[in-house]
Amino acid sequence: METALTPLEFARRARRLHPQREAVVDGELRLTYEQFLDRCDRWSAVLQSMGVAKGDRVAYIAPNTHGQLESFYAVPQTGAVLVPINFRLSTDDFSYIVNHSGAKVVCAHADQLDAVDRVRDQMPGVERFVALEGAREGWEDYESLISGADPHFTRPDIAETDLLTINYTSGTTARPKGVMITHRNAYMNVVGTLLHLRMDVGERYLWTLPMFHANGWTYTWTVTAAAATHVCLRAIEPARVFDLIRAEGITWLCAAPTVLITLANTPEEVRGRDIGGVHVVTAGSAPAAATIERLEQEFGWKVTHIYGLTETAPFILVCEPRPEHDGLSTQDRGTLKARQGVELISSGELAVLDETGAEVPWDGTTVGEIAVRGNVVMAGYYNDPEATEKVMYDGWFHTGDAAVTHPDGYVEIQDRIKDVIISGGENISSIEVEGVLLRHPSVQEVAVVGVPHEKWGETPRAAVVLQEGAEAAAEDIIAFARENMAHFKAPTEVEFVDQLPKTATGKIQKYVLRGGAPAISRQ
């Protein structure tokens, strides 16, 4: 009598119990659960008519639209694997991810059609290109295909260990790695999310978090599991966010700290009144205690800090409130809320381990590496056993994040072991940025580190040694980087130095360049 643990079950239940409840709002478009899931079925049928079979990959490059949301149901219920791609990446990244994943179909939003067309000839394995909006020559029209389709499709047997999605994350290497998330991984993350962050029937969720980012922290399925309403938001514009909060009665949203900072600093004449009652889930890097205090005191919002990684589906720690926290001062409560927290009930086991593999004492001072094992840990990196073995060994997934455990069991990140820079919730590989800057004719050596930034949480800073006799301005270096990679990865600061700090063996000492980075978490 066992059934596979898959987030597709949440759709089945929502359709059965809440067919006429509003499921999706995207501008003027409003869909009930019956209409929403009928569209998903029609797209599943179209995909199968295109030759997409169980195990095949379908890539999406799009912002938070209803078409992007439908992919999280329509693709996996055919047994195929969804590959949601960060639409902010460069065209080179697009072609690499599409080719590496082996995607047979590419679906893109109107804003990304030009970028895909520029590298279309570099994607020989793609059989069909579909425009979610703005179809033109060379692109099939998503809406026309759905409207002309029969909703009946052949649903194969799906095991909970089957791949659901491949989510590409920059990590610490120059090329993105494909994180393999199974149906069970996502199902367990949704269950844990709803246990710790209770969303009720009919509540309304605003998509301020990109759906491509770790499957929208699985809120692509969590909202449906709660029979709540998905309110799509295609770009973060503070005035629009606050207008939707009022007009749509928003009760939940997720956001990286950079978005929270932007919202917290929006003038009252822009944000308006009557914006209270929103529950905010934040992760990606540690939110500033001051930001939490302002949102809770001035806005009347409730902020919960979560920690996780794409590789853990993604939630593994939640800074859950306890009765004893009620007596704390506002400042102390804000400081505690900025910690990463304690294990979610459903995620599995987390420990901060020392170099011998033993758990560090719960003293709030002894530093170790966060390691995880359990239900939400990925199946591995797609087609990359070497990278998988580097992080999954001795029965644990090793995060590369250095942390302490406080006497109450709450974990707090101290620094990162890896040199990943997190800017606006996005991972940036310092090695990738360095590789681009080394192509500049005036650059001899370069080291890139993350430094604190008021808006983005962290931003890349480059320490550059110029070629002998060469000259260059910081603006030149930054412009060169922006011309050769995704803009959000380019350094915002450049420091020219005579030499880089190195060990006796020639390894660059990045901790010297950082000068003491703030405590942050990695998503």
Taken in order of first residue, the domains within the chain and their CATH numbers are 8-235 (3.40.50.12780), 323-376+384-416 (2.30.38.10), 420-514 (3.30.300.30)
Cα 350–chain centre separation? 20
Residue 337 has a CB neighbour count (10 Å cut-off) of 23
Nearest Cα to 171, choosing from 313, 311, 63, 308?
Answer: 311
Nearest Cα to 182, choosing from 203, 160, 200?
Answer: 160
**Contact in structure between 422 and 171 (CB atoms under 8 Å):** no
| Triad 251, 232, 63: Cα angle to 5° | 135
- Phi-psi domain of 146 (left: phi exceeds 0; alpha: psi -120 through 50; beta: other): alpha
Contacts of 246 (CB under 8 A, 6+ apart): 272, 274, 275
**Contact in structure between 244 and 208 (CB atoms under 8 Å):** no
Q: How far is CA 287 from CA 356, 510, 522, in A?
A: 31, 24, 12
Long-range Cβ contacts of 239-245 (<8 Å, 24+ apart): 239/266, 239/270, 239/271, 241/206, 241/208, 242/266, 242/270, 242/271, 242/272, 242/275, 243/272, 244/206, 245/206, 245/275, 245/278
Q: Provide the whole-model pTM.
A: 0.83
pLDDT tens track, the chain, 523 positions? 889 999 999 999 999 999 999 999 999 999 999 999 999 999 999 999 999 999 999 999 999 999 999 999 999 999 999 999 999 888 999 999 999 999 999 999 999 999 999 999 999 999 999 999 999 999 999 999 999 999 999 999 999 999 999 999 864 345 889 999 999 999 999 999 999 999 999 999 999 999 999 999 999 999 999 999 999 999 999 999 999 999 999 999 999 877 887 898 888 899 988 899 999 999 876 565 667 878 988 899 999 999 999 999 999 999 988 888 888 887 787 778 778 899 999 999 999 999 999 999 999 988 889 999 999 999 999 999 999 999 999 999 999 888 889 999 999 887 666 666 888 878 787 767 887 888 898 988 888 898 888 888 889 999 998 987 888 999 999 999 999 989 899 999 999 999 888 643 344 777 788 774 332 233 3
Structure tokens, 181: 């998330």
Using DSSP's 3-state secondary structure scheme, residue 287 falls into coil
